[in-house]
Homo-oligomer: A and B are copies of this chain.
Amino acid sequence: MSEVRRNTRQRQVILRAVRELGCHPTAEQVYDRVRSELPRTSLSTVYRNLGVLADQGLLSTVAGAGKEVHYDHNREEHCHIRCSLCGRICDVDIFPSDMEGFPPEDLSGFILQEVSINLVGICPACSGKMEKEKTV
């Protein structure tokens, strides 16, 4: 088992890529970004490091309905809204801990670890596109 983590160039660039890309990139998007700086980087290195960084708590993964995993560098409590057309994910300021009567008492005996609130909708770009198509 890996105990001591090494501070490799790739790992640094990958973390920076997620931060700079901002809007919850997929591994593939991180890969593209990283390769513009370190062209020999492999996709498996990206996946491995995203995993390591998530283990270290520097990133989190966004559970989505899409098949790709998205990565999030925002360490504050927040929720997400995903576009049902293009898959884009944005932050939403909802704070479950502020909500009255939440979480509920009856959890069928589960020990609660985590709350994730995910909204689905249509993003401004896609609804704009739909408007335009109607006119044509």
Contacts and interface: CB of A to CB of B under 8 A. Distances in A.
B110 A116 contact: no
Interface in A95-120: 99-104, 106-120
Nearest to A120: B114
A119 B93 contact: no
A87 B20 CA distance: 33
- Identical copies of this chain, number: 2
A124 interface: yes
B101 A81 contact: no
A119 B124 contact: no
Contacts of A107: 81, 92, 119, 121
Interface stretch (A9-17, A43-51, A58-66): A58-66
Nearest to A62: B65
Contacts of A104: 92-94
A84 B113 contact: yes
A4 B2 CA distance: 57
